[in-house]
């Protein structure tokens, strides 16, 4: 993952201005903001609305429709666990329950030390080798709770 | 002699650890003074064999899989560069036709 910058309204305005002329600029802007700051700060909403000449409600609607966009900073590692049918069929639900229990969090939650955020995702295209997940955008297949724990330690090291 | 090994880097192969095989392979080959080039490809879709590496030989490509990081040394010992026999070897040995009943070694 690229280094995350602290939230800065002038920097956000610069990112928005750089993409505002594109057709269908909303999603590219939201992606760029999340890539830069790790989440889409609520202060970005009026900036985007102004730049694209749309209402704040429209921007808010777009951010909340796509669960990939976060309203707050994530943990240092983001784990996306696949909850789609193929992974369910090979026992992902039980594994997920175990992972969340070990981390002491719920879906979309971040551990208290800010180390890990766990989010659900619906199919990563790794159906033949589930349970699947993304750890900081890197695919991991045939996952179990111990394997995830080991992978998190490996990535954090 | 220069050897070319093909290792997939699509999301299935990566999810099953292709990078964790490619890195030690490059390192181990260098340590042995073997001139080995790794070419990253897409998967052939045989997910149960991923990560599946293929080595180019004069008789065609010979495949090995599923390869774990811990298999790298034994593969080199078995003569991976020439398509040598190994428990992970998938392709029929040199010159054997696809119609042969001995698909797997």
Interface test with A, best of B8, B10, B12, B23 (most A CBs within 10 A): B12
Residues of A in contact with B12 (CB under 8 A): 125-126, 128-129, 139, 141
How buried is A69 (Cβ within 10 angstroms: 0-12 exposed, 13-18 middle, 19+ buried)?
A: middle
For chain B, the farthest-separated pair of C-alpha atoms sits apart, in whole angstroms, at 39
In chain A, which residues fall in CATH 3.40.30.10?
77-156
As a CATH number, domain A77-156 is 3.40.30.10
Which has the higher per-residue pLDDT, A137 or A43? A43
Report pTM. 0.80
Which residue from A minimizes the CA distance to B14? A139
Kindly report the average pLDDT of chain A as a whole number. 93
> pLDDT by residue for chain B (105 residues), tens digit each?
689 999 999 999 999 999 999 999 999 999 999 999 999 999 998 999 999 999 999 888 999 999 999 999 999 999 999 999 999 999 664 444 444 445 454
Rounded distance between C-alpha atoms, residue A75 and residue B97, angstroms: 54
- Please report the ipTM that was assigned to this predicted complex: 0.74
Q: Do A128 and B14 touch (CB under 8 A)?
A: no
Rounded distance between C-alpha atoms, residue A20 and residue A26, angstroms: 8
Alpha helices in A5-136 (DSSP H): 9-19, 26-37, 44-52, 56-65, 85-89, 92-103
Tell me the per-residue pLDDT of A78-118, one tens digit each, with 9 for 90 and over.
999 999 999 999 999 999 999 999 999 999 999 999 999 99
Q: Do B47 and A128 touch (CB under 8 A)?
A: yes
Q: Cα B52 to the chain's mean position, in Å? A: 6
Torsion of CA A83, B13, A125, A140, to 10 degrees: 20
Q: Do A140 and B11 touch (CB under 8 A)?
A: no
As a CATH number, domain B3-82 is 3.40.30.10
Tell me the per-residue pLDDT of A3-39, one tens digit each, with 9 for 90 and over.
789 999 999 999 999 999 999 999 999 999 999 999 9
Look up tokens 């033949």; give the residue.
A128
Q: Do A139 and B50 touch (CB under 8 A)?
A: no
Under 8 Å between Cβ of B65 and B77: no
Under 8 Å between Cβ of A145 and A95: yes
Lowest mean pLDDT among A13-17, A52-56, A126-130: A126-130
């Amino acid at each position: 993952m690229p280094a995350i910058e602290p939230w800065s309204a002038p920097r956000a305005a610069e990112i928005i201005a750089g993409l505002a002329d594109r057709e269908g600029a909303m999603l590219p802007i939201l992606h760029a903001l999340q890539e830069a700051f790790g989440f889409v700060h609520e202060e970005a909403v009026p900036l985007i609305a102004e730049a694209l000449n749309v209402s704040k409600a429209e921007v808010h609607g777009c951010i909340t429709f796509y669960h990939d966009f976060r309203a707050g900073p994530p943990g240092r590692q983001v784990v996306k666990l696949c909850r789609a049918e193929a992974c369910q069929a090979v026992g992902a639900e039980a594994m997920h329950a175990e992972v969340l229990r070990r981390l002491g969090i719920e879906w979309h939650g971040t551990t208290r030390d800010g180390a890990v955020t766990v989010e659900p995702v619906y199919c990563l295209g790794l159906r033949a080798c589930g349970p699947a997940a993304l750890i900081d955008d890197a695919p991991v297949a045939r996952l179990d709770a111990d394997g995830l724990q080991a992978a998190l330690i490996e990535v954090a090291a | 002699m220069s050897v070319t090994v093909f290792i997939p880097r699509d999301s299935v192969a990566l999810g099953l650890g292709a990078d964790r095989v490619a890195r030690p392979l490059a390192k181990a080959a260098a340590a042995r003074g073997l001139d080995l080039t790794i070419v990253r490809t897409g998967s052939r879709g045989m997910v149960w064999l991923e990560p599946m590496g293929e080595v180019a030989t004069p008789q065609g490509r010979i495949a090995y899989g599923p390869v774990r990081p811990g298999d790298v040394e034994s593969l080199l010992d078995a003569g991976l560069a020439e398509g040598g026999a190994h428990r992970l070897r998938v392709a029929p040995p040199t010159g054997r036709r696809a119609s042969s009943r001995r698909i797997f070694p």
